[in-house]
Amino acid sequence: MIDLGLARIGRLLQHTPQRWKAIHVAGTNGKGSICAYLSAMLCSSGVSCARFTSPHLVDRWDCIAINDEPVSETVFRDAEELVRRRDAEGRVGATEFELLTATAFEIFHRQNVDFGVIEVGLGGKLDATNALKEKAVTVIAKIGLDHQTFLGSTVEEIALHKAGIMRPGVPCVVDGSNQASVLDVLEGYAREVGAELKSPPRSDVDEALAGTDLEPHQAQNLACAHLAFRLARPQDRRSLVGLLPLIRNLQWPGRLQRLELSEISGREQDVLLDGAHNTQSAEVLAEYVRKHIRSQGQPVTWVLAATQGKDMDGILGLLLQRGDSVAAVRFEPVDGMPWVKATNPSELLRVAGEHGIDSSHLHDGGDDIKGTLTWAAEVAGGRPIVIAGSLYLVSSVLRLLRALKTRK
């Protein structure tokens, strides 16, 4: 269940001190990567740092990290038990995400961290993470259309929700590549609450692009993270160039990730795994595929899943080309998020057909992720495979891969 508001989380956190400084990150796309960059920078600066991102990738507790290492199941469940007891005894009626947020903050307190990097769950203003008390910096990444049922039907309405993480006197780093109307909304809200907006200079973005093999959107995210880091830790004067060796070794799973799946499908060539699940992220993925995968005119075999309610017509219109093959599958039930439902694979295939994919190149994988990946490997041969459409599909694939490796 999604039920936005701060009253319940406020009650849950009454007995959890927040002595650590927070960097709060909102946005439609890029916020997870910004959090990863930020926590890496903070850890390298000699301070203790925690990170809370959502959704989890493999296990529920991997969404909480201390000094860039996921917390153990024991640490997680001990804090979660306390939070659930508070919820029951106080008759709070908290949502699952509110319980998870309170668990993360309880762990941060117990670990006595200096900084916490917090990714907004949904929106900003009424998201449970906005119960933060000691914000050092806020960050607003790229904003696009997503979760319109809760946040509004236009990017301007969505931007207003995300602007709600701003605080008086707390600097807010904004991705300057957002469209002008979004920037206008953010600037207006900042004036209203007394927050100073800052965007990374173009030179920082160009520096990131020149020094790495990052894609343009990744360089933009990195520049935003570096600016937020410098604002949070002004005594650390390392330049973006000085931090690039650290970033080169950073892999954020499920974002343009190359993965070897021979244990699942027998295929030796890597596949591309990406959690693109809205039109803005699909546009980025489509451009990456065009530059790096379709460069020799090769058709792509897609393995797709989606959460119910996503704009799959818009997403598939960006990703698919005639000659491609498409396998659709349901991702596994999401632990701790029972309200998340997968789109019926037949519906995804119907939309793929409307975008010119021949019926002989379509496969309904039902609930069988391993079988679907095997089909994709057989159809693709040595040609490229891309797994996309949902971070929950990314999670399912990574869990399957771990399970098969564990059995060996």
For residue 128, what is the domain's CATH number? 3.40.1190.10
Element (H, E) at 64: strand 64-66
User: Are residues 393 and 310 both part of a single domain?
Assistant: yes
Element (H, E) at 53: none
User: Are residues 107 and 240 both part of a single domain?
Assistant: yes
**SS3 of 22, please?**
strand
Looking at residue 254, its pLDDT comes to 79
pLDDT at 243 over 60: yes
User: Are residues 231 and 262 both part of a single domain?
Assistant: no
pTM: predicted TM-score of the whole model, two decimal places? 0.88
Residue 266 maps to a domain = yes
**Residue-number span of the structural domain to which 327 is assigned:** 257-407
User: Are residues 265 and 203 both part of a single domain?
Assistant: no
pLDDT band at 408 (very low <50, low <70, confident <90, very high): low
Residue 175 maps to a domain = yes
pLDDT band at 54 (very low <50, low <70, confident <90, very high): confident
**SS3 of 260, please?**
coil
pLDDT band at 362 (very low <50, low <70, confident <90, very high): very high
Do residues 102 and 110 touch, judged by C-beta distance below 8 A? no
User: Are residues 189 and 320 both part of a single domain?
Assistant: no
User: Are residues 261 and 127 both part of a single domain?
Assistant: no
User: Are residues 298 and 399 both part of a single domain?
Assistant: yes
pLDDT at 331 over 90: yes
User: Are residues 63 and 102 both part of a single domain?
Assistant: yes
Looking at residue 256, its pLDDT comes to 85
pLDDT band at 97 (very low <50, low <70, confident <90, very high): very high
Looking at residue 276, its pLDDT comes to 86
User: Are residues 300 and 213 both part of a single domain?
Assistant: no
Looking at residue 363, its pLDDT comes to 97
Looking at residue 366, its pLDDT comes to 96
pLDDT at 233 over 60: yes
- Residue where a domain stops, chosen among 216, 248, 280: 248
pLDDT band at 216 (very low <50, low <70, confident <90, very high): confident
The total number of structural domains in the chain stands at: 2
Greatest mean pLDDT among 59-63, 189-193, 264-268, 336-340 lies in 189-193
Residue 1 maps to a domain = no
Residue 321 maps to a domain = yes
User: Which tokens in the block code for residue 77?
Assistant: 């469940």
Element (H, E) at 67: none
Across 246-404, the runs of DSSP E, i.e. the strands, are 257-259, 271-273, 301-304, 325-328, 362-364, 385-388
Q: What is the mean pLDDT of the chain?
A: 90
pLDDT band at 57 (very low <50, low <70, confident <90, very high): confident
Q: Find the mean pLDDT for residues 218-233.
A: 93
Give tens-digit pLDDT for 304-319. 999 998 889 999 999 9
Which is nearest to 246 in space by CA: 48, 35, 38, 64? 38
- Residue where a domain stops, chosen among 219, 248, 277: 248
pLDDT at 3 over 70: no
User: Are residues 382 and 268 both part of a single domain?
Assistant: yes
Residue 145 maps to a domain = yes
| Beta strands 301-304; 325-328: pairing state | parallel
- Residue where a domain stops, chosen among 222, 248, 274: 248
Q: Given 3-state DSSP classes, what are the helix, strand and coil percentages for the chain, each rounded to the nearest 5? A: 45, 15, 40
For residue 344, what is the domain's CATH number? 3.90.190.20
φ, ψ for residue 202 (rounded to 5)?
Answer: -55, -35
User: Are residues 347 and 319 both part of a single domain?
Assistant: yes
CA distance 2 to 123: 12
Do residues 119 and 52 touch, judged by C-beta distance below 8 A? yes
Give tens-digit pLDDT for 262-286. 888 888 889 999 988 788 889 889 9
pLDDT band at 261 (very low <50, low <70, confident <90, very high): confident
Looking at residue 150, its pLDDT comes to 57
Residue 395 maps to a domain = yes
Give tens-digit pLDDT for 99-142. 999 999 999 999 999 999 999 988 889 999 999 999 999 999 99
Give tens-digit pLDDT for 143-166. 876 655 556 568 898 899 899 999
CA distance 177 to 159: 14
Residue 2 maps to a domain = no
Residue 163 maps to a domain = yes
User: Are residues 236 and 293 both part of a single domain?
Assistant: no
pLDDT at 215 over 90: no
CA distance 171 to 101: 23
